[in-house]
């Protein structure tokens, strides 16, 4: 059983409260480990450490920072299986998916290790022969990260890697459900030789107290958050007092548009992967499918067959493709969304009930569910379900499909399936989303800019753009007289 303290200033410390909290396996509710219960006093210590480390870290050469990030990548690769198993234990996702996440998470260290060497400035022609205009890009300083439970490794590395590459230091607060994976990553960073205080981890159950302490501290120049839109808005309001820079990756409401010319089997494979990955608990998961009316019945039948074949259970068991939902609250939401849809006339093609795969598996399991003939009035089409439920809604025209897809306050990911190139271009340009998958249900990758429009957030993570979030632009005007 893993037991971790807080990682502050390069050391593992007890929380100042002296207490720890249990981390539960969502598949069977057994205790899988313990983490230190940090509070505002610990945040203060961590910010002290990050502020002390900043001057030296930011002055290191890009090559040195790059080398350290490469070592962290190697460290993650060496301990890939251990990280994946721990992630499945505390989060529930199937082991195969957890291994995929470790690779995805590690890729951010590799990619940003390389990008660290390409933080270029600019020179701009001046209006006078006696002047020079230089544009420098410099690290913003101490940063804070608050992360969710659905990707316990990748949501940390997607923030830490560009921050460190840019020359920033960081204090991170992982979700209370999944602190152990975050602590294991801190251990790997320590082993790689990251200088003390460059990365600090404060685990705890008092999310608001920890968040408030990070936000109130004017030494913290930037907050990067991934989580619910509701919490994101609260943090945004509170960040106003110190005018912190913000990156927010919030909720999604992803539509998947399937046109009449689609290869239905291939489209169903993409939709199934996009919908049921992580039991539907990702912010880019397909939340609603819009299908051309001429192929509705046939396509729905294929999707129902695929959903029925998915094996549900403890993510550590062989062959399991869908793990448990994270907790009772998540299960209640899924159940209420399905009930609301059925009450308003949707047909259940498969699933629609909670599940107990075996005596030992006492977690919150739910059958992969396909609902046909859902409408805009139903909660499944209005809110992010965050569970294994796939609503199908027929459309007549491209215009109607686009209107349905864009009719939401969210704008994170959207998908379409068609073999018509002109349509693919037209539709992808008109979707009000930060990420569009054309014949691709799994677009996330370290080298691409990930992020949302509208109420899905601010800023981008990943890609060349991701490092800009951790850099200030400084303009230096030089007089030569
Ligand atoms: P989810 O619905 O995915 O759990 P949340 O937005 O509730 O999303 O949580 C995402 C992260 O935000 C977690 O680390 C959680 O502890 C943290 N969090 C939740 N509420 C607050 C808050 N009021 N202030 C700061 N952090 C918070």
**Average pLDDT over every residue of 444-460:** 97
Q: Which residues fall within 8 angstroms of residue 226, CB to CB, at 6 or more apart?
A: 146, 147, 148, 155, 158, 159, 248, 249, 250, 283
Consecutive H or E run containing 306: helix 296-309
Protein residue whose Cα sits closest to atom 11 of ligand 1:
148
Q: Is 213 in the pocket of ligand 1 (CB under 6 A)?
A: no
Q: Is 249 in the active site?
A: yes
pLDDT tens, position by position, 333-374: 999 999 999 999 999 999 999 999 999 999 999 999 999 999
- How does strand 122-124 pair with strand 131-139? antiparallel
Q: Is 11 in the pocket of ligand 1 (CB under 6 A)?
A: no
On whether the CB atoms of residues 143 and 100 are closer than 8 A, the answer is no
Q: Is 231 in the pocket of ligand 1 (CB under 6 A)?
A: yes
The one catalytic residue in 101, 249, 270, 381 is: 249
Q: Is 233 in the pocket of ligand 1 (CB under 6 A)?
A: no
Quote the ligand 1 centre to 448 CA distance (angstroms): 25
Q: Which residues fall within 8 angstroms of residue 366, CB to CB, at 6 or more apart?
A: 279, 312, 325, 331, 334, 335, 351, 353, 354, 355, 387, 388, 389
How far apart, in whole angstroms, are the C-alpha atoms of residue 432 and residue 319? 37
Fold of 254-445: Aldehyde Dehydrogenase; Chain A, domain 2 (3.40.309)
pLDDT at 308: 98
Quote the ligand 1 centre to 330 CA distance (angstroms): 14
- If you search the block for the tokens 């059925």, which residue do you land on? 342
How far apart, in whole angstroms, are the C-alpha atoms of residue 331 and residue 82? 28
Q: How confident is the model at residue 33 (pLDDT cuts 50, 70, 90)?
A: very high
- How does strand 31-36 pair with strand 453-454? unpaired
pLDDT tens, position by position, 202-230: 999 999 999 999 999 999 999 999 999 99
Bridge partners, residue 290, by sequence = 257, 393
Q: Which residues fall within 8 angstroms of residue 399, CB to CB, at 6 or more apart?
A: none
- Using a pLDDT cut of 90, give the percent of the chain over it: 100
pLDDT at 139: 98
pLDDT tens, position by position, 68-91: 999 999 999 999 999 999 999 999
For domain 2-250+456-479, the question of CATH label 3.40.605.10 is answered with: yes
- If you search the block for the tokens 């998915």, which residue do you land on? 310
How far apart, in whole angstroms, are the C-alpha atoms of residue 431 and residue 419? 18
On whether the CB atoms of residues 470 and 161 are closer than 8 A, the answer is no
List where CATH 3.40.309.10 sits in the chain.
Answer: 254-445
Quote the ligand 1 centre to 273 CA distance (angstroms): 26
pLDDT tens, position by position, 376-426: 999 999 999 999 999 999 999 999 999 999 999 999 999 999 999 999 999
- If you search the block for the tokens 């006696």, which residue do you land on? 130
Cα angle 285, 286, 287 (rounded to 5 degrees) comes to 105
Q: Is 205 in the pocket of ligand 1 (CB under 6 A)?
A: no
List where CATH 3.40.605.10 sits in the chain.
Answer: 2-250+456-479
How far apart, in whole angstroms, are the C-alpha atoms of residue 28 and residue 326? 11
Quote the ligand 1 centre to 207 CA distance (angstroms): 6
Q: Is 185 in the pocket of ligand 1 (CB under 6 A)?
A: no
pLDDT at 298: 98
Q: Which residues fall within 8 angstroms of residue 31, CB to CB, at 6 or more apart?
A: 1, 22, 23, 24, 25
On whether the CB atoms of residues 204 and 4 are closer than 8 A, the answer is no
Protein residue whose Cα sits closest to atom 18 of ligand 1:
207
Q: Determine the atom of ligand 1 nearest the C-alpha atom of 326.
A: 4
Neighbours of 445 (CB within 10 A): 12
pLDDT over 90 at 1, yes or no = no
Which candidate, 23, 182, 189, 137, places its Cα nearest to that of 90? Answer: 23
Q: Which residues fall within 8 angstroms of residue 191, CB to CB, at 6 or more apart?
A: 75
Q: Is 285 in the active site?
A: no
Instruction: Determine the angle formed by the axes of helices 80-91 and 179-191, rounding to 10 degrees.
Output: 160
Protein residue whose Cα sits closest to atom 17 of ligand 1:
207
Q: Is 43 in the pocket of ligand 1 (CB under 6 A)?
A: no
Q: Which residues of 228-239 are buried (b: 16+ CB within 10 A; e: fewer)?
A: ebebbeebbebb
Protein residue whose Cα sits closest to atom 14 of ligand 1:
175
Dihedral-angle region of residue 299 (phi above 0 means left; psi in -120 to 50 means alpha; beta otherwise): alpha
Q: Which of 231, 252, 282, 456 to mutate to test the pocket of ligand 1 (most atoms within 8 A of CB)?
A: 231
Cα angle 430, 434, 440 (rounded to 5 degrees) comes to 80
How far apart, in whole angstroms, are the C-alpha atoms of residue 75 and residue 2? 18
pLDDT tens, position by position, 46-68: 999 999 999 999 999 999 999 99
Quote the ligand 1 centre to 228 CA distance (angstroms): 7
Which candidate, 108, 447, 452, 448, places its Cα nearest to that of 248? Answer: 452
Protein residue whose Cα sits closest to atom 22 of ligand 1:
208
Q: Is 148 in the pocket of ligand 1 (CB under 6 A)?
A: yes
How far apart, in whole angstroms, are the C-alpha atoms of residue 206 and residue 203? 9
pLDDT at 132: 98
Cα angle 166, 170, 172 (rounded to 5 degrees) comes to 135
On whether the CB atoms of residues 153 and 73 are closer than 8 A, the answer is no
Q: Is 215 in the pocket of ligand 1 (CB under 6 A)?
A: no
DSSP-derived letter for residue 173 is E
How far apart, in whole angstroms, are the C-alpha atoms of residue 65 and residue 136? 18
Q: Which residues fall within 8 angstroms of residue 237, CB to CB, at 6 or more apart?
A: none
Which candidate, 116, 112, 89, 101, places its Cα nearest to that of 151? Answer: 101
Protein residue whose Cα sits closest to atom 13 of ligand 1:
175
pLDDT over 90 at 427, yes or no = yes
How far apart, in whole angstroms, are the C-alpha atoms of residue 434 and residue 442? 14
- Residue 234 has which token pair? 């609260």
pLDDT at 373: 98
On whether the CB atoms of residues 371 and 347 are closer than 8 A, the answer is yes
The one catalytic residue in 90, 168, 270, 283 is: 283
pLDDT tens, position by position, 119-162: 999 999 999 999 999 999 999 999 999 999 999 999 999 999 99
Q: Is 147 in the pocket of ligand 1 (CB under 6 A)?
A: yes
Q: Is 251 in the pocket of ligand 1 (CB under 6 A)?
A: no
**Average pLDDT over every residue of 154-181:** 98
Q: Residues, the chain, total?
A: 481
Protein residue whose Cα sits closest to atom 4 of ligand 1:
148
Protein residue whose Cα sits closest to atom 7 of ligand 1:
228
How far apart, in whole angstroms, are the C-alpha atoms of residue 5 and residue 292? 54
């Amino acid at each position: 059983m893993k037991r971790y303290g807080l990682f502050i200033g390069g050391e593992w410390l007890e929380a100042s409260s002296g207490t720890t909290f249990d981390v539960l396996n969502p598949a069977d509710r057994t205790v899988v480990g313990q983490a230190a219960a940090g509070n505002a006093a610990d945040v203060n210590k961590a910010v002290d450490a990050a502020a002390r480390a900043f001057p030296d870290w930011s002055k290191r050469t890009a090559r040195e920072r790059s080398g350290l990030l490469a070592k962290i990548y190697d460290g993650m690769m060496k301990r890939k299986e251990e990280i994946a198993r721990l992630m499945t234990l505390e989060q529930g996702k199937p082991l195969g998916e957890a291994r995929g996440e470790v690779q995805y998470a590690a890729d951010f260290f590799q990619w940003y290790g390389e990008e660290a060497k390409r933080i270029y400035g600019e020179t701009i022609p001046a209006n006078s022969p006696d002047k020079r205009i230089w544009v420098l890009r410099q690290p913003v300083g101490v940063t804070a990260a608050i992360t969710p439970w659905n990707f316990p490794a990748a949501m940390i590395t997607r923030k830490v890697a560009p921050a460190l590459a840019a020359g920033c230091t960081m204090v991170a607060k992982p979700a209370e459900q999944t602190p152990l994976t975050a602590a294991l990553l801190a251990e790997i960073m320590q082993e790689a030789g990251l200088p003390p205080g460059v990365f600090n981890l404060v685990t705890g159950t008092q999310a608001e107290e920890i968040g408030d302490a990070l936000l109130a501290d004017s030494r913290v120049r930037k907050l990067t958050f991934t989580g619910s839109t509701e919490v994101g808005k609260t943090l945004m309001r509170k960040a106003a007092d110190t005018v912190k820079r913000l990156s927010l990756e919030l909720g999604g409401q992803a539509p998947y548009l399937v046109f009449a010319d689609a290869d239905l089997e291939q489209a169903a494979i993409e939709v199934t992967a996009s919908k049921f990955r992580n039991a539907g608990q990702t912010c880019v998961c397909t939340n609603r499918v819009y299908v051309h009316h001429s192929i509705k019945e046939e396509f729905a039948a294929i999707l129902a067959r695929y959903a029925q074949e998915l094996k549900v259970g403890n993510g550590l068991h062989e062959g399991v493709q869908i793990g448990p939902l994270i907790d009772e609250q998540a299960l209640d939401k899924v159940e209420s969304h399905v009930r609301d849809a059925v009450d308003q006339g949707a047909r259940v093609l498969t699933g629609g009930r909670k599940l107990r795969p075996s005596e030992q598996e006492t977690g919150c399991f739910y059958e992969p569910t396909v609902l046909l003939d859902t409408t805009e009035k139903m909660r499944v089409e209005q809110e992010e379900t965050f569970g294994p439920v796939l609503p199908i809604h027929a459309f007549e025209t491209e215009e109607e499909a686009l209107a349905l897809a864009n009719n939401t306050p969210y704008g994170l990911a959207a998908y379409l399936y068609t073999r018509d190139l002109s349509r693919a271009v037209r539709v992808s340009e008109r979707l009000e989303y930060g990420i569009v998958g054309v014949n691709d249900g799994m677009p996330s990758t370290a080298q691409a800019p990930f992020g949302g429009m509208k109420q899905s957030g601010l800023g981008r993570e990943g890609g060349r753009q991701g490092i800009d979030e951790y850099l200030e632009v400084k303009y230096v005007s030089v007089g030569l007289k």
